[in-house]
Chains A and B, each alone.
Chain A
Amino acid sequence: MSAPTEPDIVERKGLSPRQRAQRSRWIQYAILIVLVLLAAFTADWGQIVDVFFKPEFIKASFEDGLLQALVKTLEYTAGAFVIGLVGGTVLALMRLSSVGPYRWLATAYIEFFRGLPAIVVFIAFSLLPLAFEGLTIPWDPYGVVWLALGIVASAYMAEVIRAGIQAVPKGQLEAARSLGMPAGLATRKIVLPQAFRIVLPPLTNDLILLVKDSSLVFIIGVSADAYELTGFGRDLANTYSNLTPLVTAGFCYLIITLPLGLLVRRLEAKAARAY
Chain B
Amino acid sequence: MALVEIKNLHKSFGSNHVLRGIDFTVEQGEVVCVIGPSGSGKSTLLRCINLLERPQEGQVIVRGEDITDRDCHLDAARQQIGMVFQQFNLFPHLTVLQNCTVAQTTVLKRKSSEAARVARANLDRVGLNEKVTAYPAQLSGGQQQRVAIARALSMDPALMLFDEPTSALDPELVGEVLTVMRKLALDGMTMLVVTHEMAFAREVADRVVFMDAGVIVEQGPPAELIGNPAHERTRTFLRRVLDPTHVEPTG
Q: Which residues of A contact B (CB under 8 A)?
A: 169, 171-172, 174-182, 185, 189-190, 193-194, 197, 275
Contact = CB atoms under 8 A, between A and B. Distances in A.
A180 B76 CA distance: 6
Interface residues of B, number: 28
Contacts of B82: 178
Contacts of A182: 75, 107
Contacts of A179: 78-79, 102-103, 107, 151-152, 155
Given A181-B75, A275-B135, A275-B137, A176 B92 contact: no
A275 B92 contact: yes
Contacts of B85: 171, 174-175
A23 to B, nearest CB: 46
A180 B93 contact: no
B89 interface: yes
B50 interface: yes
A81 B79 CA distance: 38
B91 A178 contact: no
Contacts of B50: 178
B87 A171 contact: yes
Interface in B42-73: 50, 52
A175 B78 contact: no
Contacts of A169: 87, 89
Contacts of A172: 89, 91
Given A171-B89, A172-B91, A194-B93, A178 B107 contact: no
A178 B92 contact: no
Contacts of A275: 92-93, 135-137
Contacts of A174: 52, 85, 89
> Considering the complex of A and B, which 8 residue pairs feature the smallest CB-CB distances, nearest first?
A180-B79, A179-B103, A175-B89, A171-B89, A275-B137, A178-B83, A180-B78, A180-B107
A189 B91 CA distance: 10
5 contacts: A172-B91, A178-B50, A179-B78, A179-B107, A275-B135
A179 B205 CA distance: 25
Contacts of B92: 194, 275
A189 B106 contact: yes
Interface of B: 50, 52, 75-76, 78-79, 81-83, 85, 87, 89-93, 102-103, 106-108, 135-137, 148, 151-152, 155
Nearest to B102: A189
A254 B135 CA distance: 38
Given A178-B52, A179-B107, 5 more contacts: A174-B52, A178-B81, A179-B155, A181-B103, A185-B106
Interface of A is mostly: helix
Nearest to B98: A189
B107 A181 contact: yes
A176 B102 CA distance: 9
A181 B106 CA distance: 8
B89 A180 contact: no
Given A178-B78, A180-B76, A180-B78, A185 B107 contact: yes
Contacts of B106: 181, 185, 189
The winner among B50, B83, B91, B137 for most chain A CB atoms within 10 A is: B91
A174 to B, nearest CB: 5
Given A185-B107, A197-B93, A275-B92, A180 B87 contact: no
The winner among B85, B102, B135 for most chain A CB atoms within 10 A is: B102
A176 B93 CA distance: 13
Nearest to B76: A180
A187 to B, nearest CB: 12
Given A171-B89, A172-B89, A175-B89, A180 B52 contact: no
A171 B90 CA distance: 9
Contacts of A190: 91, 102
B7 to A, nearest CB: 22
Nearest to B103: A179
Contacts of A181: 75, 103, 106-107
Given A174-B85, A175-B85, A275-B135, A180 B91 contact: no
A189 B85 CA distance: 19
Nearest to A275: B137
Contacts of B102: 179, 189-190
A169 B82 CA distance: 20
Contacts of B78: 177-180
A227 B98 CA distance: 47
A193 B76 contact: no
